Amino acid sequence: LTLLFGLASINTLTVISVTRYIKGCHPERGHCISNSSMTVALVLIWVAAFFWSAAPLLGWGSYTDRMYGTCEIDWAKANFSTIYKSYIVSIFICCFFLPVTVMVFSYVSIINTVKLSHALTGLGDPTDRQRRMERDVTRVSIVICTAFIIAWSPYAVISIWSAYGHPVPNLTSILASLFAKSASFYNPIIYFGMSSKFRRDICILFRC
C-alpha cells in the first residue's frame, strides 16, 4: 500500500505537469484537457501504480520488513537474482527517471514560454500583473520540480545502490524513506502557499 500510494502520487504529479505544459505552451490544444481525458488519466495513474506495486506479489521483485514500521521492496535480493534486479532497474526508470524527465521538461518549457511571450507582448517592459504572473509560474514550477527530486532522489539512489550489492546504513535508509513518503504531504502546501489561483479555487470550492 505504501508503494501503491507513493507511485500514484508520482504519476499524479507527472500528469499535472503535462496538463500545465499543454495549457501554458500549447493553448490551442487546451480542448484535449476535458473531464473525459482527466478520467482516463486518473484510471491510468492507478493502473500503473497497481501494476508496479503488485508485481512483487506475483514473483517479479520482492517485499521485506524494514523493521521500522513499514514493508518495502527488498533491494538486497537483486544481488542474487537477475529477475529481481530487472524489476528494480525497471521501476527506477519507469517510475522515477521518466517522470522526473517529463516534469523538468514541462516546467522548463512553461517558464521559457512565459518569458518569451512577455518579451514579445511587453517589449521588454511587462506590466505589474504580468510580472506577478511570471514570478508565480516560475516559483511554483521550480519549487514543485525541486521538491519532487529532493524527496525521491535519495530513495531512488539508495535502491539502485543496494541492488548492486553496496551496503546502506539503517539510518540513511530510514531518512530516505521518510523523505520520499513526505512528498504527498507538502505538495498541497506548496500549491496553497504559492499559487493565488489555487487559493481562489479552494475558497470557491468550500464557499469560504
Domains of the chain: 1-206 (1.20.1070.10)
Give one DSSP letter per residue of 153-177, joined into a string: HHHHHHHHHHHTT----HHHHHHHH
Using CB atoms within 10 Å of the CB of residue 165, give its burial: 0 to 12 exposed, 13 to 18 middle, 19+ buried.
exposed
What pLDDT is stored for residue 133 in this prediction? 65
* H-helix segments, 55-166: 82-92, 98-122, 128-163
Per-residue pLDDT of the chain (208 residues; tens, 9 = 90+): 878 888 888 898 889 888 888 887 887 777 788 888 899 999 999 999 999 999 988 888 888 776 666 677 877 777 777 888 888 888 889 988 999 899 889 888 888 887 776 665 555 555 566 666 666 766 777 787 788 888 888 888 888 887 777 777 777 777 887 887 777 778 788 888 887 778 888 888 887 6
pLDDT at residue 41, as a whole number: 93
Q: Residue holding cell 506590466?
A: 127
**pLDDT at residue number 20:** 82
64, β-bridge pairs? 72
b/e map 166-179, b = 16+ CB within 10 Å: eeeeeeebeebbee
pLDDT computed for residue 202 by the predictor = 85
pLDDT number for residue 182: 79
Does the predicted TM-score (pTM) go above 0.85?
A: no
Q: What pLDDT score does 163 carry?
A: 75
In angstroms, the CA 32 to CA 50 distance is 26
pLDDT in the model for residue 49 = 94
**Could you give phi then psi for residue 123, rounded to 5 degrees?**
55, 40
Write down the pLDDT at residue 127: 59
